[in-house]
Amino acid sequence: MLGYSWKRARLSLKGKRNQEQFEFKQGQIETLKKLEDSGYIDLYFGDESHFGLTPNVPYAWQTKENPMLLPAAKGKYLNVVGLMTRKSKLYFEVLETTFNSDRIICFMNRFVEQTVKKTIVILDNSPIHKSKKFMAKIQEWKEKDVFIYFLPPYSPELNLIEILWRRIKYQWLDFDAYKCFKNLKEQLNLVLNNFGIKYDIKF
């Protein structure tokens, strides 16, 4: 009605970023996509996300007589680190503890060893990506033809894996995943392991 639609309001960081830098990096990423399409490189978008028992979907069909109630469980999370391509290929790891620089470095070391061609990994400016330990590994990975490309600050729109996290949280996890931690763990692993097969994103 009158151009309005009922949809979830989303947070924006546009006001904090340098728009000129954003557009410059955006253009570079489009060039990287073309290089990937030509078969010259592999291009991955990387990030971490966490999943807890507080549901991200606040609405569900239910009756007045039999409302759907979820346990108010907080503090326990599954943490996922992932590297995703535009062809829905996902390299990931799930932990019940938080990721730190050491764990991210171990994850990246395993990823680097299975690459087969020149590879670009796009990451944000998270402190664990910019730690002294992580930055010290960049040259070693570069020597194995894996290059880290950092996004400008406050630019989540440029990191396509953010779309994956939203799809999982708001669409792909069934409502009963939030009934207990066991359900959440099983369903999250089901989605992650079937990404590109049962669950897909068209970029």
Phi and psi torsions of 195, nearest 5°: -70, 130
Q: What is the DSSP letter of 124?
A: -
pLDDT in tens, 39-48: 999 999 999 9
Give whole-number Cα distances, 155 to 98, 121, 135, 175, in Å.
Answer: 23, 16, 20, 30
Phi and psi torsions of 52, nearest 5°: -125, -175
At CB < 8 A and 24+ separation, what contacts does 106-110 make?
Answer: 107/81, 108/137, 108/141, 109/137
Q: What is the DSSP letter of 91?
A: E
92 forms beta bridges with 82
Tell me the percentage of the chain whose pLDDT exceeds 90.
Answer: 73
Residue boundaries of the structural domains of the chain: 17-50+74-193
- At residue 8 the predicted structure's pLDDT band, cuts being 50, 70 and 90, is very low
- Position 17 scores a pLDDT of 80
Segment 179-189 mean pLDDT: 93
The pTM of the full predicted model, rounded to 2 decimals, is 0.85
CA–CA separation, 131 and 203 (whole Å): 31
- At residue 57 the predicted structure's pLDDT band, cuts being 50, 70 and 90, is low
pLDDT in tens, 93-113: 999 998 999 999 999 999 999
- Please name the fold of domain 17-50+74-193: Nucleotidyltransferase; domain 5 (3.30.420)
Give whole-number Cα distances, 51 to 62, 75, 170, 184, 189, in Å.
Answer: 24, 11, 11, 8, 11
